[in-house]
Structure formats: C-alpha cells, structure tokens
Amino acid sequence: MNIELSDLTRKFGRTIAVDGVTLDAGPGVLGLLGPNGAGKTSLLRMLATILPPSSGDLRLLERDPARPAQRREIRRRLGYLPQNLGYYPSFTVVEFVEYFALLKEMPPHIVPKAVATAIERVELGAKAKAKLRTLSGGMLRRVGIAQAIVNEPQLLLFDEPTAGLDPEQRVAFRALMRYFGQTATVIVSTHLVEDVGAACTEVALMSEGKIAFRGTPEELTARGVDHGVGDAPLERGYSAVLAAARSAS
C-alpha cells in the first residue's frame, strides 16, 4: 500500500479539520469529494508531508513521514499540486518546472529530459520559453501539473487540479490521471463530480472531517437511485451520502 492512514486526526485549536480518518490506497486514482470545509485540503496537506497530524498513524510509500530521513525519501517520490499554486512571474515554464525538479533532488543529468517530457505531457511545449507572467490561469494550472509529474512520482496529490482548465484540457488531464494511476497512487481532491466519474477508480467522500463513503464511482451512483437532489446520477449519489452523513451526526 502506498498510503496507510489509521485514526488520523488534525486539529487547529478547537477545530477538528480531519477527524480519525482511516484509509489505505495502492496504485489507482482516488477521488476525494466533499463540501467546502470537509477537511479535504488538510488531509491532502498531511499526505504531502507539509502538515503533521495531531494524532494517528500515517505511512506513505511504506515510510514514516515523521522521521526526517524517511520524509525526505517520500518527498523525492511525491508530486503535489496545491490549491493555490504560487509562481515566480519572471520564471519561464522550463525554469519553473526545472526548479522544482532540482528541489525534489532529481539527478541533475536527467532533469532536462524530465522537464521536457512533463511540459509536453501538459501540452505546453509551445509556451516552454514563455514567462509565467504572460500565461493564462489555465496555462499556469498546467505548469503546476507539470512540476507535480516531473519526477514520475509514486504518490501524486492534486488539490482542485481542473480549476481554470477548459473542457478540452480537463479531458486531457483526466487521461493524464489515468496514465499515472496505472503505476502510482493518484489522489485528486475536487468539487467536480464529473471529473471523478470519468477518471477515478475509487471515491472517498469527506464530511465534517470524516470519511462518509468509500467505494467505486458506480457504488456512489447506486446510493443516489432514490434521491432527488442533483442533475447527474453521480451527483445524486454524492448528495444522498452527504445528507445521510449530516443526519447521522
């Protein structure tokens, strides 16, 4: 298993952002759904080794991120796209992706080819030498995706990756997720239920810091058969599970 969480909790003062989450995941694409404030980003930041848990056990890529040496090994094999990707306006696309390839401690001699491959995968070859300040929001998002995949990660974490992408780019991005999901664990936090239906092999639905549902997109769809809220079958499943979780709490 690439991800093993046991009773993982994260508190901010009195607020419990992630409340006793137990989860494991191997290769594949896991969609993380949930309303705003459900704890998706906090969970993703713990998986990205940025945020230490308040309690519980966390193992990533069969290593303990609480130990600095093992955390470093995890980070070499990690790809992360934060919700708010900051960028250096004066950097070109190549410089930005290369910068993070070097910070991931990739061997310098393989960096140029890895950077070129990542940029081509997000279809930004024509803008490779363009300054980031000249790019649109959707292009910047793709630059962020390129830096996340540049090291061929074993654990790939995307927080709202399709925000700002047009429909054609979203289709291409889903194909990219499926490609990496063949060998790596890809976790994608999103509000867009259609992204989950199209690309994810599994879904976890978070509500109030807890995992309210874990299963395949088809299983989530089945939960919404008799539920009236939502336009698409998957949305009805999402609404049904969320309503059940709220009434139970």
Contacting residues toward other proteins, per CB under 8 A: 48-50, 52-56, 66-68, 71-72, 75-76, 78, 80, 82, 84-89, 94-95, 98-100, 102-105, 108, 112-113, 115-117, 119-120, 125, 128-129, 147
Rounded least distance, CB 195 to other proteins, Å: 22
Rounded least distance, CB 210 to other proteins, Å: 18
Rounded least distance, CB 14 to other proteins, Å: 15
**Nearest CB to other proteins, comparing residues 101 and 196:** 101
- Three-state SS at 186: strand
Rounded least distance, CB 81 to other proteins, Å: 8
Question: How many residues appear in the chain?
Answer: 249
Rounded least distance, CB 232 to other proteins, Å: 32
Distance from chain centroid for Cα 158:
2
**Nearest CB to other proteins, comparing residues 26 and 108:** 108
Residue with tokens 């966390």: 58
Rounded CA-CA distance 14/243 in Å is 25
Rounded least distance, CB 115 to other proteins, Å: 7
Positive or negative, the CA dihedral 122, 111, 97, 91 is negative
**Nearest CB to other proteins, comparing residues 112 and 166:** 112
**Nearest CB to other proteins, comparing residues 98 and 195:** 98
- Beta 210-215 vs 202-207: how paired, if at all? antiparallel
**Nearest CB to other proteins, comparing residues 78 and 241:** 78
Secondary-structure percent of the chain, ordered helix, strand, coil, rounded to 5: 45, 25, 35
**Nearest CB to other proteins, comparing residues 65 and 181:** 65
Rounded CA-CA distance 106/97 in Å is 12
Rounded CA-CA distance 150/172 in Å is 17
31, 188 Cβ separation under 8 angstroms: yes
Residue with tokens 């960096």: 111
